[in-house]
Structure 1
Amino acid sequence: MVTKLTLLCLPYSGASAMVYSRWRRKLPQWLHVQPVELPGRGARFDEPLQTDMHALARQLATEHKPALEAPYALFGHSLGALLACEMAHAFRALGCPEPVALFASGTAAPTLRSDYDRDFAEPKTDEQLIDQLRTFQGTSEAVLADKELMSLTLPVLRADFLLCGRFRPRERPRLKCPVHVLGGKEDKATTEQLIGWSQETGGSFSVDMMTGGHFFIHEHEARVLRVIKEHLEGHHRRYTQMSALAR
C-alpha cells in the first residue's frame, strides 16, 4: 500500500477546481492531488460567492478538516496562493497540524499588496473585467466575445477580485512550514513582492522563477509539477519510513 501525501490545490480568480484535474494523472501515485472547489462555481455553482478571504478560508478549512490526514501540503496560484496561506492558518486554529509545505504561485506576498491590489477593492463593471482578462493574456478573444459564457464567468471573477482587493493581512504567529514561491518573469508580481512571502514563515523559503506571464503554471506545467514533486518527495519519504516503524 502506497502512503500518500495530500496536495490541496486552490484555483485562481474566475477558475474552478477543474484547472488542476490534469495534475492527478501527471504527479506520482504517492501524491494525492485534491483540487479545492470554491463556492459559486463547478459542483458548488448554487452556493453564494464569497468576498471575505478570512471567512472563506475558515469555511474551507472546516469543510476539509474531517478528511484531512497528515501529511498534507497546500498549493495556490494568484488568488489561490492567498487563500492557501489563509487556510494554513485556519487549519492551525482548528487544531490541525500545519502543512508540510505551502506553495504560493503568481502573486504578491500578503503584506505587500497595497500597490498590487489597489484597483480591486471596488466592484468592476463587465467591461473592466474583460479588459483585465486581456491583460492576463490567458483568454482568447473568441471566449471574451461569448456573451453566454461571460455571463457565467464575470460574476465569479468580480467576487474573486473583491476577495483579493479587500484582503488585509492579520497580525499572528508565522507559519513554521517551508514556503515555496513560483513566479513568472513577465508577470505583474515583482521580485520584491514575491520574496515578501518569506515573511510568512519561520521555516525555509525558496523562489523559482519561470519565463512567461501570469499563466506560466499552464505554459510550463511540467516544470511546475517537477518543482512540487522535488520539494515534497523528501517529506513523503520520511513519512513512509515513520509509518513503517510504527507498524
Structure 2
Amino acid sequence: MPTEPVAERTRSAYSALDEAFVQAGLDGHAHFLNWGYEPIAGLADGAVPGLAQPGANEACERLVAELLGPVALDGLRVADIGCGRGGALDIVTRRYHPLAAIGLDLSADNIAGARRLLAGRRVRLQLADACALPLADGSQEVVLNLESSGAYPDMGAFLRHVRRVLAPGGLFLHGDLWPSELVGPFLETMEEMGFVLESLRDVTRQVCRARDRMPAGLMARLAGARRAADVQDYFAAPGSAMYDCLDRGAITYLLGRWRRSAEAAGAADTALLETRAARIEALLGEARASLAERADWFPFGGPRRGADVNILAFPHAVAGASAFKAWQGQFPRDWQVSPVQLPGREGRIAEPPFTTLSAAVEALLPKVRPYRDTPLVLLGWSLGSKIAFELAHRLEQEGTCRPLLVVAGVCPGPHEPLPDLRSFFGEDGMETRLRLLGGTPENILASGEMLSALQTTMEGDTAMAASYRSEAVIRAPMLALSATQDDLVSKEAVESWRPRTAGGFTHRRLEGGHFMARDDAPAVAGVVKDAVAERLRQGDRQAEVA
C-alpha cells in the first residue's frame, strides 16, 4: 500500500502541472500528459490508421493509438488507470463504442480536466489509487495504463489489482519507461503473475522523435517559477537528463499487450520491480553529470542516436564551435549538426589546448562511439579536416563504424603539411589574426589576458598541424571542398585527398574564400547536405538490392 507522503507528492506534482498549464494558457489544449509518438521510416507502426487526429495533440494521440493497436473496443468494458486529463478516453469514446468506460486517477486536478474534456460522454471518472483499485473482480475486459506507473510506490500491488479486475482473457495494455536492465525481470514477473504476452514493442526512438518536435519555447512557458531542469526531465525535453537516458538506451520505452490467463496466478516476487523508480533517478543523476561534460564538447547540441544523420563539425585553427553555429538551420530537422568545441577556445578558453592531433582524437573517440549505429558524417574545415579524417581512420581501424561521409574543407591532404599561418597573416598582431580567423567573441579580443590564452591555443594548433602526417586510406567516401578565392590552400592541395579514400572521392570547387564555411554558411552547407542525401540514397538502393 502506498504511504501517504508518496501519494501527496504525486498529487502535489499534478497540481503544480495543472497550474503551469493555466498560467501558460494551455489548459484548454493540454488533454494529454504522455510524451507522444512520431513514426520513423523503416520502423514498424502498430496504430489503426486515422485513429489519431491532426492537430496540436497529434503525437500524443498517436502514442495512445500505438498502445491500442488493432484492439477493437466496441462492446467492451474499458478502464483507463492513471487517466490523466482524459485524452486517451476521448480517443476511445470518439472512435469506438465501449459497453462501459471508466477513468481513474490519483489527482483531483487531472479528474477535473478530464471531466471538462469528456462532458456529455458516457464515461465514469473517479479519484482512486492505482495500487488499491476500487473495481470489482473480473469487471473489465480491457485495462489501459499509459505513462502513469512510474509514480506508483507499489508496482506489485498495482499489477495484482490489474489481474484481479480483468476478466479471464482480458487485455492489459501498458506503456511506460523502464530501466533497460529491468526489462527482462519485468517480463518474467508478468509471466509469473499470470499474464500472457501478446506483443511488446520498444518505441524509444519514436518517442524521442516526438520529443524532438516539441514546440520551441514550450518548456520555458511551463517552467514558471519551477526549476527548468525538473520540468525538462518531466517532459523528456531534448537536452534533458531523461531524454539523454532514452537516447542512449539506458531507459527503454515499452508498449506491451498482455492477456490475463484463465489459470490461477502463481506467487511472484515483485521486489525487483520496486527498485524501478530509484534506478531511474540514479540513471538521471548519472546523465546530468555526463551532460555537463558533454556540453563542453558540444555547446550547441550533441549527437543523438535517434537522429537520421549525425554531423560532427570541426572548425579551423583557433576557432570555436560557433564557427559552425549558422549551419544548424541549413539541414533537415531530423539531422543533428553538432559543432565540436576543442579545449582552449570560447567556453573552454581556460583549458590547455591539444598539441598533437592523436591526443585530440583519443579524447573524441569516447564521445563518438555511442552513436556508431546512426549515419555519421565527419566534417572539418582547414585544420578541422585532418581531425575529421584521423577520427574516421581510428573508428574504422577499431571496427566501431565506417562513417557515411568525410568532408574536408580547404585543407591539403593528411600526407601534406598545412601552410604556415604566419605567411598568411604576415606580421599582423594576435588580435588581427584572430579577427581574420573568426569565431572569437569581441570581449576576448579586447582582453590582453584572453589574447594571451588564445596565443597558447594558436601555438597548440600550429603544433598539432605540424606534427601530423598520415598516408592512411579510409573506406569511407570523401567530399573535398576548395574555394576559388582561397589565398592559403590551392585547388591542387585539396585534390591531394583523392588517394586517401577507397570509398569514392568528390572534389567541389566553390565560389568564396578560405573562411567561407563561416562567411557563407548556406552555400557550403547546401553542398554538404546534397552530398549526404546522395549517400543516404545510395545506401537505400544497396539495401533494396540486397
TM range (shorter): 0.7 to 0.9
From 456, 462, 465, the counterpart of 1:161: 462
Percent of residue pairs identical = 25
Task: Give the distance between the partners of 1:238 and 1:29, measured in 2 at CA.
Answer: 21
Residue matched to 1:150: 451
Offset, 1:45: 4.1
From 327, 333, 341, the counterpart of 1:37: 341
Q: Unmatched 5+ residue regions in structure 1?
A: 121-125
Give the alignment of 1:19-34 within 5 angstroms.
Answer: 19-34=323-338
Offset, 1:111: 1.6
From 198, 203, 211, the counterpart of 2:503: 203
Give the alignment of 1:178-193 within 5 angstroms.
Answer: 178-187=477-486, 188-193=488-493
Task: Give the distance between the partners of 2:352 and 2:445, measured in 1 at CA.
Answer: 26
1:71–1:239: 8 Å Cα contact kept in structure 2? no
Task: Give the distance between the partners of 1:42 and 1:132, measured in 2 at CA.
Answer: 16
1:14-56 CA-partner distances (Å, limit 9, x unpaired): 1111222222222112321122221233444453311111221
Q: SS of the counterpart of 1:180?
A: strand
The one-letter code matched in structure 2 to 1:47 is E
1:186–1:212: 8 Å Cα contact kept in structure 2? yes
Residue matched to 1:212: 512
The one-letter code matched in structure 2 to 1:10 is F
Offset, 1:107: 1.3
Offset, 1:99: 0.6
1:4–1:29: 8 Å Cα contact kept in structure 2? no
Q: SS of the counterpart of 1:22?
A: helix
Give the alignment of 1:107-146 within 5 angstroms.
Answer: 107-113=411-417, 116-117=419-420, 129-130=430-431, 132-133=433-434, 136=436, 146=446
From 71, 87, 95, the counterpart of 2:391: 87
Choose 212-221 or 73-82, whichever is displaced more.
Answer: 212-221
The one-letter code matched in structure 1 to 2:477 is P
1:137-187 CA-partner distances (Å, limit 9, x unpaired): 7589x8897244523432222211221122222x54x11121111111221
Residue matched to 1:230: 530
Query: CA 1:93–1:47 in structure 2 vs 1: closer, same or farther (change >3 Å)?
Result: farther
The one-letter code matched in structure 2 to 1:211 is E
Task: Give the distance between the partners of 1:226 and 1:98, measured in 2 at CA.
Answer: 23
Residue matched to 1:98: 402
The one-letter code matched in structure 1 to 2:308 is K
Task: Give the distance between the partners of 2:444 and 2:336, measured in 1 at CA.
Answer: 34
> Please, what TM-score do these two structures have when normalized by structure 1?
0.80
The one-letter code matched in structure 2 to 1:164 is A
Task: Give the distance between the partners of 2:378 and 2:462, measured in 1 at CA.
Answer: 21
2:485–2:514: 8 Å Cα contact kept in structure 1? yes
From 51, 64, 87, the counterpart of 2:355: 51
The one-letter code matched in structure 2 to 1:180 is L
Offset, 1:190: 1.4
Task: Give the distance between the partners of 1:42 and 1:211, measured in 2 at CA.
Answer: 29
Offset, 1:77: 0.3
Task: Give the distance between the partners of 2:386 and 2:477, measured in 1 at CA.
Answer: 15
Q: Unmatched 5+ residue regions in structure 2?
A: 1-38, 41-306
Q: SS of the counterpart of 2:503?
A: coil
The one-letter code matched in structure 2 to 1:98 is R
Task: Give the distance between the partners of 1:230 and 1:158, measured in 2 at CA.
Answer: 36
Q: SS of the counterpart of 1:51?
A: coil
Instruction: With a CA cutoff of 8 Å and minimum separation of 6, indicate the structure with the bigger relative contact order.
Output: 1
1:8–1:74: 8 Å Cα contact kept in structure 2? yes
1:164-219 CA-partner distances (Å, limit 9, x unpaired): 122222x54x1112111111122111121110010110121111222332111123
Offset, 1:65: 1.2
Task: Give the distance between the partners of 1:113 and 1:211, measured in 2 at CA.
Answer: 24
1:13–1:79: 8 Å Cα contact kept in structure 2? yes
Choose 151-160 or 3-12, whichever is displaced more.
Answer: 151-160
Choose 76-85 or 227-236, whichever is displaced more.
Answer: 227-236
The one-letter code matched in structure 2 to 1:199 is P
Query: CA 1:70–1:225 in structure 2 vs 1: closer, same or farther (change >3 Å)?
Result: same
Q: SS of the counterpart of 1:208?
A: strand
Give the number of aligned pairs.
234
From 216, 221, 225, the counterpart of 2:521: 221
1:117–1:165: 8 Å Cα contact kept in structure 2? no
Q: Runs ≥4 in structure 1, deviation > 6 angstroms?
A: 142-145, 240-244
1:71-92 CA-partner distances (Å, limit 9, x unpaired): 1111000110010001101212
